[in-house]
Structures are given as structure tokens and as C-alpha cells.
Amino acid sequence: MRPIILLFSFMMMLSLSSCAARVVAQPASVTVVKARPANYKIVKVKGKRYYFWNGNHYRKTRRGFILVRL
């Protein structure tokens, strides 16, 4: 009887501790530009549209244009 109780309690302790941890990486800072300048170029990379100006690539979102690193 005692080994069964020990086994059951051991299994309960294992089920309480989780091996998985949720890790959420958030960007340090996000650069949002409201309007693009007149001298932008549209560039397609892997089928996605990016806007290129001033040596940087931007992606269009609802908030404006977000700087991305390719």
C-alpha cells in the first residue's frame, strides 16, 4: 500500500511542475513613419511588398510604415 501512495504522490508532483515556459520576445523599439516621402521605391522580397527609402525598408501597416530589417 505504501509504494502505491508514494508512486501516486510522485506522479502528482511531476504533473504540477511544467517543463514548458512561454517566452514572448518584444522589439526594443519600433519606428513608425506616418507618411512616406515622394522618393520611395517599392521592392518585393520573397513575394512581400516593402517600401524602400533613405537606405531602409518599411512595411505598410494600419498605423503607418514600420521599419523592418531584412
Q: Is residue 43 part of a domain?
A: yes
Q: Is residue 8 part of a domain?
A: no
Q: What is the Cα–Cα distance from 67 to 16, expressed in whole angstroms?
A: 43
Q: Is residue 1 part of a domain?
A: no
Q: Is residue 62 part of a domain?
A: yes
pTM for this structure? 0.57
CB of 52 closer than 8 Å to CB of 37: no
Number of domains in the chain: 1
One digit per residue, the tens of pLDDT, for the chain of length 70 reads: 788 887 777 777 766 656 666 766 666 788 889 998 899 999 999 999 999 999 999 999 998 999 998 8
Q: Which three cell numbers stand for residue 69?
A: 530589417
Taking the alpha carbons at both ends of the chain, their separation in whole angstroms is 63
Residues spanned by the domain of 65: 25-70
Q: Is residue 50 part of a domain?
A: yes
Q: Is residue 45 part of a domain?
A: yes
Q: Is residue 17 part of a domain?
A: no
